[in-house]
């Protein structure tokens, strides 16, 4: 049952980390390193691999009235995955995963871009709403090699290719080709450890619209969105193509000093070049984003069965957009989140554990269209309460999780004197979304049990977001089955 207990640790660690680049930019959960400190592949050893090989199916469903304007009315996500770990004769430890995913987004407004709401409004779209369907494969492999008893080198390579179609006129086709490489090193002593990791990624998106030329008498209205208002409209007569190339690099580090003081930090910088026109490219501007995150955990032992963990974490991002010909900044956004809290792990017996945590966070978001003189600033604070219970009996591991977030929004600042139709339809709705007090409830259950020479894990998670004094809500649910050998 050691492998099953390790899965509980995987979940606990994953919840404490910042969003990965794959999840932020591509909406892909690549969790092969989720059980490792700071997702550093150099911590992967034969002692902490969760299984030899496994099969996984995951289904996600989300939707509701309380959502951002460019979010689909509903989203269904199917993911089928196989993963494996293997130690080679030369000491190299290999880990790999291969996944196929199918995604359906219902009634998505205007935009052709595969992912939106990254808070950088440089988008391409048309005047219709419709359903989008995506098929893709992604994989990543890890090679981990021990240089000595305390030092280990590793590299993690991620690759994705997918294609997305819009079901209604003018039927754009979106293709993505993505690569992420992360070299890493770890130093692990008897009680302390240190990990360092670098990263480089390139995410390419090619949006092409050409099928409408076969539909007689119809010509779409294309939108080139750049900032918070005044999108450029064109009445198309020929095919259109948009290319977005995101390149970035990052650095992260983590340490563990005797299990008493733990910390991790991540820095990432990315920039995107955007062009239209295919063979005759026309620059449409570019943007850059900087992300920074740290987490410090101070652990202490109260009694033989009760610990007290004091933690602090901060997340910060800043993005800038630039005009294609004026050589001037036209957009800026920033998001800050600082949180501090207390966690109390309680172990009444060797096969039972409770972990409760309470924390308080301050956050704010600022978005500014420097070109049009538009700005909004929205501060807030959140009370976070989490509870996790795990019990192992007769070879079966039960895990129950629950969470409650109470989000209160402070006094917002809005400058909109120069606004136009796009601001009224989209940006004002985004401001209204971020400015609502709301409560978030989440519950999850996971059961892991042995069957002959394998383990089977069944899990379900449900989350509900409810704005105060509103009948609107938003839900997300996940069902997953893992078969591990």
Range of the domain at 469: 2-484
CA 336, CA 120: separation in Å to the nearest integer?
16
Q: Which residues pair with 446 in a beta bridge?
A: 399, 459
User: For 228-247, what is the mean pLDDT?
Assistant: 86
Evaluate if residue 2 carries a pLDDT over 60. Answer: no
Evaluate if residue 214 carries a pLDDT over 90. Answer: no
Total number of domains constituting the chain: 1
* Structure token digits, residue 277: 């026109």
Domain of 375, CATH number, reads 2.40.160
User: For 116-130, what is the mean pLDDT?
Assistant: 86
Evaluate if residue 199 carries a pLDDT over 50. Answer: yes
* Structure token digits, residue 219: 């010509």
pTM: 0.91
Predicted local confidence at residue 14, as pLDDT: 35
Query: 424-437, pLDDT tens digit by residue?
Result: 999 999 999 999 99
| Alpha-carbon distances, residue 461 vs 3, 10, 441, 480, 482 (angstroms) | 21, 16, 11, 9, 15
| Alpha-carbon distances, residue 80 vs 70, 83, 94, 477 (angstroms) | 27, 10, 21, 17
User: For 342-363, what is the mean pLDDT?
Assistant: 95
Evaluate if residue 118 carries a pLDDT over 50. Answer: yes
Predicted local confidence at residue 280, as pLDDT: 78
Query: Looking at per-residue confidence, does 9 or 438 come out higher?
Result: 438
* Structure token digits, residue 35: 């059980």
| Alpha-carbon distances, residue 100 vs 74, 79, 173, 381 (angstroms) | 20, 6, 19, 38
Predicted local confidence at residue 1, as pLDDT: 39
Of the ranges 12-16, 251-255, 274-278, 344-348, which one carries the lowest mean pLDDT score?
12-16
194 pLDDT band, cuts 50/70/90, is very high
Evaluate if residue 216 carries a pLDDT over 70. Answer: no
Evaluate if residue 275 carries a pLDDT over 80. Answer: yes
- Residue identified by tokens 């172990």 is 347
Predicted local confidence at residue 237, as pLDDT: 62
Asked if residue 423 lies in contact with residue 366, where contact means CB atoms within 8 angstroms, the answer is: no
Evaluate if residue 4 carries a pLDDT over 60. Answer: no
Q: What is the largest CA-CA distance in the chain?
A: 78
User: For 451-468, what is the mean pLDDT?
Assistant: 96
Predicted local confidence at residue 31, as pLDDT: 74
Predicted local confidence at residue 127, as pLDDT: 87
Query: Looking at per-residue confidence, does 40 or 221 come out higher?
Result: 40
| Alpha-carbon distances, residue 453 vs 1, 53, 136, 449, 484 (angstroms) | 11, 12, 32, 11, 9
Predicted local confidence at residue 211, as pLDDT: 60
Exposed / middle / buried, residue 193 (Cβ in 10 Å: 0-12, 13-18, 19+): buried
* CA angle, 438 then 266 then 323, to 5°: 75
Predicted local confidence at residue 217, as pLDDT: 62
Q: How many CB atoms lie within 10 A of CB 234?
A: 12
Evaluate if residue 346 carries a pLDDT over 80. Answer: yes
């Amino acid at each position: 049952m050691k492998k099953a207990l390790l899965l509980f640790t995987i979940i606990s660690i994953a919840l404490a980390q910042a969003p990965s680049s794959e999840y932020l930019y591509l909406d892909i959960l690549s969790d092969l390193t989720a059980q490792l400190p700071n997702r550093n592949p150099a911590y992967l050893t034969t002692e902490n691999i969760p299984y030899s090989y496994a099969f996984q199916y995951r289904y996600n469903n989300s939707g509701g009235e309380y959502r951002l304007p460019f979010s689909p009315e509903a989203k269904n996500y199917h993911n089928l995955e196989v993963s494996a770990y293997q130690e080679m004769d030369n000491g190299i430890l290999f880990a790999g995963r291969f996944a196929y995913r199918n995604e359906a987004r219902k009634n998505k407004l205007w935009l052709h871009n595969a992912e939106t709401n990254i808070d950088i409004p440089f988008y391409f779209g048309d005047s219709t709403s419709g359903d989008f369907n995506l098929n893709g494969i992604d994989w990543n492999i890890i090679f981990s090699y021990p240089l000595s008893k305390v030092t280990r080198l590793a590299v993690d390579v991620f690759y994705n290719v997918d294609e997305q179609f819009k079901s209604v006129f003018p039927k754009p086709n979106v293709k993505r080709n993505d690569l992420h490489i992360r070299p890493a090193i770890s130093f692990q002593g008897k009680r302390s450890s240190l990990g360092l990791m670098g990263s480089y990624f390139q995410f390419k998106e090619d949006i092409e619209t050409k099928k409408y030329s076969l539909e007689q008498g119809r010509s779409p209205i294309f939108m080139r969105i750049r900032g918070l208002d005044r999108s450029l409209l064109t009445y198309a007569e020929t095919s259109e193509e948009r290319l977005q190339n995101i390149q970035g690099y990052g650095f992260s580090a983590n340490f563990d000093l005797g299990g008493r003081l733990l910390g991790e930090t991540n820095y990432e910088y990315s920039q995107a070049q955007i062009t239209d026109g295919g063979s005759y490219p026309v620059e449409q501007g570019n943007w850059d984003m900087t992300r920074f995150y740290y987490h410090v955990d101070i652990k202490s032992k109260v009694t033989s069965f009760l610990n007290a963990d004091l933690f602090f974490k901060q997340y910060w991002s800043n993005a800038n957009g630039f005009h294609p010909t004026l050589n001037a900044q036209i957009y800026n956004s920033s998001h800050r989140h600082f949180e501090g809290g207390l966690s109390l792990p309680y172990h009444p017996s060797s096969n039972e554990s409770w972990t409760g945590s309470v924390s308080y966070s301050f956050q704010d978001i600022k978005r500014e269209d420097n070109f049009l003189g538009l700005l909004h600033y929205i501060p807030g604070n959140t009370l976070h309460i989490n509870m996790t219970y795990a019990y192992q009996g007769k070879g079966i591991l039960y895990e129950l999780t629950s969470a409650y977030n109470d989000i209160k929004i402070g006094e917002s600042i809005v400058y909109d004197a120069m606004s136009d139709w796009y601001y009224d339809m989209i940006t004002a709705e985004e401001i209204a979304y971020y400015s609502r007090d709301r409560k978030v409830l989440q519950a999850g259950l996971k059961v892991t049990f042995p069957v002959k020479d394998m383990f089977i894990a069944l899990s379900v998670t449900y989350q509900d977001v409810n704005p105060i004094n509103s009948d609107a809500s938003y839900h997300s649910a996940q069902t997953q089955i893992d078969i591990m050998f």
